[in-house]
């Protein structure tokens, strides 16, 4: 069995509630953390952080913007960039911050949804040319083409593609507040736009599957730390059908594909709906939102897998004794498979490098099956299987 086959099998087993040889490794890193990591470890600038930590699967991001021109520079300041993205929104991104500020949106009224152009999802430039997405754009930074990303890690990792759920797509062209008003007042026009979004995202996903992705990541932020942005029934009415159709299309094209749903905040009110749609795992399980993977594992058992839940605010940045106790407690959720630990979103640059190394050492040491977690063992989790 090749390295790639071993890693893919490991991930597929874990997300199918089986115990592989060890808990799979995965994480996402803000560029600011990678820059600090390279600097403090005095590594060559082309060192790959995913290879360094021997991750099992890696996210590959293509140009899925509605418009193929993903980055138009408007202004370059001393420590910031203002640009127009392929979603038509105008963003300001500080060089020292991973998240941009959204200054303006292309769609100014609900009637302009019909005028908004979704350029051809099959255009080969989306897959063969470099692009700059909203989060990475700084100066004229471009990500390698999807084709190059896939080729660069072929045989080294399982590969995960990316699509967007309806809400995540819509607010980038309309703005969050304005979209929420549209949901309440203009149901028919919003749903008509969502039909177009659904067809676009399904084709984007099918093309990635055709190019060889093993997993699919669905970006769908629908909540904040206190709960969902709107009632669960509002999500079910507008966005659940889109997600369900996406999952059905992807699994029809590749029956063994595993689909991970990314959501910030606490969207637990619709976890059962995500399962109905065909979602295999939920990521990122932000601790500050009150989500605890141990309690979730008790509730959902082998119905929904989980990825994340390692607190980047108080655990990865804290003292090592607390870090170890917290991580080993959460590893109980990996008993019987069904849990892959990672930062509870992405690793920011305020995480000390030595702490992150210590965390990875813990996962390596205690993550081999059968799990032996000593004083941190929770027998109740073992008894579920």
Start-to-end C-alpha separation, the chain = 28
Cis peptide before 230 (omega within 30 of 0): no
Percent of the chain with pLDDT over 90: 90
Cβ atoms of 168 and 220 closer than 8 Å: yes
Q: In this predicted model, what pLDDT tens digit does every residue of 267-298 receive, in sequence order?
A: 999 999 999 999 999 999 999 999 999 999 99
Region label for 242, one of left (φ > 0), alpha (ψ between -120 and 50) or beta (otherwise): alpha
In a domain? residue 215: yes
103 located within any domain = no
The tens digit of pLDDT for each residue in 179-204 reads 999 999 999 999 999 999 999 999 99
Q: Output the average pLDDT for the chain.
A: 95
Spatial CB neighbours of 26, under 8 Å, sequence gap ≥ 6: 55, 56, 57, 307, 340, 342
Residue 26 domain flag: yes
Average pLDDT over every residue of 203-212: 98
pLDDT for the residue numbered 135: 65
Type and span of the H or E element at 345:
none
Does the pLDDT value for residue 342 go beyond 90? Answer: yes
Give the pLDDT confidence score for residue 129 in this predicted structure.
94
Mean pLDDT within 351-375 = 97
pLDDT in tens, 53-76: 999 999 999 999 999 998 899 999
Task: Please say whether the beta carbons of 83 and 70 come within 8 A.
Answer: no
Are 29 and 49 within 8 A, CB to CB? yes
Asked if 218 and 205 touch (Cβ cutoff 8 Å), the reply is no
Residue 136 has pLDDT above 70, yes or no: no
pLDDT score, position 126: 96
The total of structural domains in the chain comes to: 1
290-335: pLDDT as tens digits = 999 999 999 999 999 999 999 999 999 999 999 999 999 999 999 9
When pLDDT is cut at 50, 70 and 90, the band that residue 77 belongs to is: very high
**Is 81 inside any structural domain?**
no
Q: What is the CATH number of the domain that holds 364?
A: 3.20.20.210
pLDDT at 263: 95
CA distance 236 to 243: 10
In a domain, 112, yes or no: no
Whether the CA torsion 275, 279, 285, 286 is positive or negative: it is negative
pLDDT at site 295: 97
Structure confidence at residue 98 (pLDDT) = 80
pLDDT at 139 over 60: no
Q: Which domain holds residue 347?
A: 3-68+123-382
* Least confident segment among 32-41, 126-135, 219-228, 359-368: 126-135
Answer whether 257's CB lies under 8 Å from 247's CB.
Answer: no
pLDDT value at position 95? 83
Non-local CB neighbours of 35 within 8 Å, separated by 6+ positions: 349
CB 14 within 8 A of CB 338: yes
Question: 161 lies in a domain?
Answer: yes
Say if 105 falls within a structural domain: no
Confidence of residue 141 (pLDDT cuts 50, 70, 90): low
User: Which DSSP string corresponds to 62-96?
Assistant: ---SSSS--EEEEEE-SSEEEEEETTS-EEEEETT
Spatial separation of the C-alpha atoms in residues 27 and 49, rounded to whole Å: 10
The answer to whether residue 92 sits within a structural domain is no
């Amino acid at each position: 069995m090749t390295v790639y086959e071993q890693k893919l099998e490991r991930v597929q087993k874990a997300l199918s509630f089986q115990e592989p040889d060890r808990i799979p490794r995965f994480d996402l890193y803000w560029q600011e953390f990678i820059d600090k990591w390279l600097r403090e470890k005095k590594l060559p600038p082309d060192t790959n952080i995913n290879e360094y930590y021997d991750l099992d699967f890696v996210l590959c991001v293509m140009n899925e913007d509605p418009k193929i021109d993903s980055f138009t520079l408007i202004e370059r300041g001393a420590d910031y960039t203002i640009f127009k993205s392929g979603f038509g929104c105008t963003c300001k991104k500080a060089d020292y911050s991973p998240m941009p500020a959204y200054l303006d949106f292309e769609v100014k009224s609900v009637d302009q949804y019909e005028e908004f152009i979704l350029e051809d999802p099959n255009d080969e430039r989306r897959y063969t040319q470099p692009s700059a997405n909203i989060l990475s754009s700084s100066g004229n930074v471009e990500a390698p083409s999807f084709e190059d990303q896939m080729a660069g890690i072929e045989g080294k990792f399982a590969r995960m593609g990316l699509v967007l759920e309806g809400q995540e797509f819509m607010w980038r062209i309309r703005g969050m507040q304005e979209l929420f008003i549209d949901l309440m007042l203009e149901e028919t026009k919003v749903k008509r736009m969502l039909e177009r979004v659904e067809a676009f995202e399904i084709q984007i996903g099918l093309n990635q599957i055709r190019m060889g992705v093993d997993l699919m990541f669905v970006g769908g932020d629908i909540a904040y730390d206190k709960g969902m942005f709107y009632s669960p029934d509002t999500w079910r009415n507008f966005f659940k059908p889109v997600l369900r159709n996406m999952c059905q299309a992807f699994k029809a094209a590749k029956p063994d594909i595993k689909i991970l749903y990314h959501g910030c905040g606490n969207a637990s009110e619709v976890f059962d709906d995500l399962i109905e749609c065909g979602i295999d795992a939920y990521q990122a399980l932000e601790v500050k939102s009150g989500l605890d993977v141990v309690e979730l594992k008790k509730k959902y058992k082998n119905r929904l897998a989980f990825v994340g839940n390692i607190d980047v605010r108080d655990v990865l940045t804290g003292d090592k004794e607390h870090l170890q106790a917290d991580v080993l407690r959460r590893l109980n959720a990996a008993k019987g498979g069904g849990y892959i630990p990672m930062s509870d979103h992405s690793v920011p640059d305020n995480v000390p490098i030595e702490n992150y190394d210590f965390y990875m050492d813990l996962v390596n040491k205690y993550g081999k099956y059968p799990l032996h977690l000593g004083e941190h063992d929770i027998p109740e989790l073992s008894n579920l299987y």
